Structure 1
Amino acid sequence: MSAVLDDMDSRPGSTTSLLRTIIGLYLRGAGGWMSSTQLITLMEAVDVSPALTRTALSRLRRKEVLTASTRGGVSGHAVGERARQMLERGDRRIHEPRSMGPDDSWCLVYFTVPETARGLRHQLRRRLHWIGCGTVGPGLWICPRYLQAETEEILEDLGLRDRSVLFVTGRPQAAGSLREAVAGWWDLEELAGLHHAFLDRQRDVPSVPPAEGAAAFAAYVRCIDSWRIIPYLDPGLPADCLPEDWPGAASSNRFLQLREAYRPEALAYVGSIRSVPQAV
């Protein structure tokens, strides 16, 4: 699983990130397979050359996000078996932004990993960070309770479940205010920067999609691509635990607005590309 999760490192807007976004949005709905020509055409719509797309396809095959396969004599790519769970989780994270209420439960994650297994410890910390957990101390992390299942999956996958204990608790009682404690457990400046960057990128995107299908598709893919890592890193903390000017709600609302406006036109464009007969 970790090889697949490494793809979260792809920088939004990069060739690999855009390709991964298109795969997550459309490949499963296309029967789990598309021809290489179709994927190249879709990438050209977001201004990526065929040569760069082929390089990115090779990279995602190595990471087992994709597998090369042929149908009816046509070369193409299918979703890798190990990537399906990741993509399904991405559907929930990306398209259903979550946020805690003031009375919702929290989950504490305690673990002990010996120095002889420091590589595993690094992987665990990295992956807990990637799903939005905060750091209370070196062996104690915290997250909303709705991230408990994902946390347990990570521990099981790394073989560390027997070295960990999870506690479900009410509102943490910090020495000072919980808002001050949360600012120490999460890098709120980094998270706020992600929201502001998304809002800046989408500021001039028209609320009504253009009539030209490729342009609507490109705007939609770029919107999803620039948003998709935010709901992983930002766990959706309670509003009273965040700065007064927190941009999360504005960012989430803008994403949902553009998604609803552009999704039908983008899907129609993909359908038009898939309907073109493929050369054998």
Structure 2
Amino acid sequence: MPGELRPIVDLEPGPGNPTSLLRTFVGLHLRDLGGWIRVAALLELLATAGVSNSSTRSALSRLKGKGLLLGEKRESIAGYRVDPAAVTELERGDRRIFSYRGQKDDEPWCLVSYSLPEVDRSKRVQLRRALTGLGFGAVTDGLWIAPGHLHAEVEDALAALEVRERATIFITQTPLTAEPFAQAAAQWWELDRLAARHTEFLDRYEQYVPDALRTQNAASPQPPADPREAFVLWLRCVDDWKTIPYVDPGLPASALPPDWPGMRSVELFAQLRRSWAEPARSHVREVAAGK
């Protein structure tokens, strides 16, 4: 609804909790099943990933409250379907999570300048949270910057909060800073924290890729022999990864330190997707069909 920004990917709480895993399952699989799944199949699948039935039911209640799921019976069978109002946000999340885009040094930047009075303090807080969630860096309190390809997403955020008329968007070349641009970027974005997120992902999942395959565009590693294992690995992999592309806007090389781990983790995620996504999808379809 206007005046409220309702992201499908929450930055908090962190990955691995039942609500986050269920949200990840919905984004990965529920639309592929036609948008509906029976409760028994959902409980079975989440149990495979280590989530108890009671925790899954609690998470279902939370996601219903957030407007992601609707309870629906089909032929007297209890189930859940994707709320149609959430489809656009899910599709937007797909693009951000699975189509990582890095900015080139010669591509433009997007700057957002806004001024909101104290009476609109709550919207000001929401806007700052939204800009952070889109990967914008704070130059000053009312001036934010991100790669130019995020222009459409910030337009949507401003419109959703009904503050578009209070903001100005500039599409510009690289700003001229007093210090080297990389030093300025390190102040605008929390690059150390972001690098730690990438490194954590690498440390957790590089073990699944043989050393010989850890090069860009290399062949995919072999998927696990057990489709259930592929399902669990892929679910947890995406759950760990899904917030990283939101806080990492894809800065160009000129804005990053020379030992930046981001592209390594981007390629690792792509390799694991090529290996695990299809067997995981097949397992979900089998369980959902009651086979």
Q: Which TM-score bucket, shorter chain as reference?
A: over 0.9
CA distance in 2, matches of 1:15, 1:28: 20
Paired amino acid for 1:253: E
| Residues 107 and 142 in structure 1, CA contact (< 8 A), matched pair in contact too | yes
Residue equivalent to 1:249: 263
Distance 1:4 1:141, change over 3 A: closer
Query: Given the alignment of the two structures, is residue 172 of structure 1 paired with residue 175 of structure 2, yes or no?
Result: yes
1:8-23 equivalences in 2 (<5 Å)? 8-23=11-26
CA contact (8 A) 2:9 2:93 kept: no
Farther-moved stretch of structure 1 (158-167 vs 68-77): 68-77
Residue 288 of structure 2 aligns with which residue? 274
Structure 2 residue 155 is the aligned partner of structure 1 residue 152: yes
Alignment of 1:214-229 (within 5 A): 214-229=228-243
CA distance in 1, matches of 2:42, 2:236: 16
**C-alpha RMSD of matched pairs (Å):** 1.3
Match of 1:230 in 2: 244
Aligned partners of 1:243, 1:215: CA distance in 2, in Å? 36
How far off its partner does 1:6 sit? 7.1
Q: CA deviation at 1:171?
A: 1.2
- Tell me the distance in 2 between the aligned counterparts of 1:147 and 1:73: 45
Amino acid at match of 2:239: D
Measure the CA separation in 1 of the matches of 2:52 and 2:171.
Answer: 49
Separation (CA, whole Å) in 2 of partners of 1:31 and 1:151: 30
Moved over 3 A (4+): 3-8
Q: Deviations over 1:181-200 (max 9, x none)?
A: 10011010111111011111
Counterpart-to-counterpart distance in 2, 1:234 and 1:31: 31
Alignment-mate amino acid for residue 42 of structure 2: L
The alignment partner of 1:117 has SS state of helix
Q: Distance in 2 between matches of 1:5 and 1:115?
A: 28
- Name the % identity: 43
- Offset, 1:73: 1.1
Gaps of 5+ in 2: 210-220
Residue of structure 2 aligned with 1:191, choices 153, 173, 194: 194
Q: Give TM-score, length-normalised by structure 1.
A: 0.96
TM-score under structure 2 length normalisation: 0.92
- Measure, in 1, the Cα distance between the counterparts of 2:51 and 2:167: 44
Question: Quick check: 2:5–2:157 contact (8 Å CA) kept in 1?
Answer: no
Q: Give the SS at the match of 2:128.
A: helix
Segments of structure 1 that go 5 or more residues without pairing to the other structure are none
Contact kept? 1:217, 1:262, Cα under 8 Å: yes
Q: 1:38 aligns with which of 14, 27, 41?
A: 41
Q: Which residue of 1 aligns with 2:60?
A: 57
Given that residues 106 and 144 in structure 1 are in contact (C-alpha distance below 8 angstroms), is that contact kept between their aligned partners in structure 2? Answer: yes
Q: Give the 3-state SS of the residue equivalent to 1:70 in structure 2.
A: coil
Would you say the 8 A contact 1:4–1:63 is kept in 2?
A: no
**Structure 1 counterpart SS, 2:208:** coil
Structure 1 Cα separation of the partners of residues 82 and 136 of structure 2: 28
1:259 aligned onto 2:273 = yes
Deviations 1:188-243 (A, max 9, x none): 01111110111111132353222111111101111111111000110000012101
SS across alignment from 1:71: coil
- The reply to whether residue 7 of structure 1 matches residue 3 of structure 2 is no
In the other structure, the counterpart of 1:89 is: 92
Distance 2:193 2:70 in 1: 35
* CA apart distance, 1:90: 1.0
Question: 1: distance between equivalents of 2:6 and 2:249?
Answer: 23
Q: Distance in 1 between matches of 2:280 and 2:128?
A: 37
Equivalents in 2 of 1:123, 1:139: separation in Å? Answer: 13
SS of alignment partner, residue 172 of structure 1: coil
1:56 partner amino acid: A
Alignment-derived partner of residue 226 in structure 2: 212
Q: Please tell me whether the aligned partners of residues 96 and 245 of structure 2 are also in contact (alpha carbons under 8 angstroms).
A: yes
Q: Is contact 1:4-1:83 (8 Å) kept?
A: no
Deviations 1:8-58 (A, max 9, x none): 423111111111111000111111111111111110111111111000000
Q: How many residues align?
A: 277
Q: Aligned partners of 1:187 and 1:16: how far apart in 2?
A: 27
Equivalent residue number for residue 212 of structure 2 = none
